[in-house]
Amino acid sequence: MLRECIDALRVKPDGSYLDGTMGGGGHSFEIAKRLTEGGRLIAVDRDEDAHEAAKKRLREYIDRITFVRDDFKNACARLDELGIGGLDGVLLDLGVSSWQLDSAERGFSYMKDAPLDMRMDRSARLTAYDVVNGYEERELARIFREYGEEKLAGKIAARIVRERAESPVATTLQLASIVAGCYPPATRHKFGHPAKRVFQAVRIEVNGELDGLAEAVTELARRLVPGGRMAVITFHSLEDRIVKNAFRQMTLSCTCPPDFPVCVCGKVKEAELVNSKPITASAAELEENPRAESAKLRVIERLDTEKKEAR
């Protein structure tokens, strides 16, 4: 959804922009090439390999880019360190990047054999191997159920525990095979690859993807200047729900109970939804990039709250 994101941001040549999930640099490239010498892009990612790849891809525009290796949830603190105040645009493309999925050795894909890793930041301690082989059965079931919305969470967790008692579950294809074996052959591939939800759940646990997401989205949205826009792409219902609710809170002008005769909460409407419903991938894009099938793009525009408060 590259075109939709760039259109939504309405990049100004002299503006300041944050790409909080740089990945291989695809979105950053399109933002940076629209900037002049007065513009600035802050490209953030916690993956060291992503920085190496993106710097090569973005070398033509390196003079207008500041690279920051960190989780986007820490971006506001890093912006303060850099002395950067208001932003004209923020982009977040949540979840695992295509670049990471295509790097088989990273262990994100259930289609390619690799050690169970799934760390977005390779310096982090917790790996997918640690989760799959170290968590108790009850905790595994909870993760599969909550983070993967997996209906067979208990059965899969029990099967993993039995298998690892014989020998560790060490690779992606081992884990994928265990999960697939929990489904009856007739329905195994009814909703895509049977291991998709379990892999999502383990990845979210390893990287703490949902921890503090609402707070980070709100904090970054509040760094926008009036008229600035924030675009967020989600790929599953859990993170989309969090982003949707965070945006909704910013668009409310009152949070008092409905039966209150007058507003006493003091809430000020901070932003406006650019689209009432999320933008989804076009048929043409889905032909080229099937991974975009579950993608949802939500966009908000920052309002001038000082003027509203003055009135």
Question: Tens of pLDDT along 42-81?
Answer: 999 999 999 999 999 999 999 999 999 999 999 999 999 9
Q: Are 50 and 28 in contact (CB under 8 A)?
A: no
Residue 310: the pLDDT is 47
Query: Domains in the chain, please, with CATH?
Result: 2-95+213-310 (3.40.50.150), 107-207 (1.10.150.170)
Q: Which of 135, 151, 242, 239 is nearest to 198 (CA)?
A: 151
Mean pLDDT for 168-193 is 91
Please report the pLDDT score of residue 307 as a whole number.
Answer: 58
| Percent of the chain scoring above 90 in pLDDT | 80
227: left (phi over 0), alpha (psi -120 to 50) or beta: left
Whether 311 has a pLDDT exceeding 70, the answer reads no
Q: For residue range 212-250, what is the model confidence (pLDDT) as tens digits?
A: 999 999 999 999 999 999 999 999 999 999 999 999 999
Q: Average pLDDT of 116-122?
A: 95
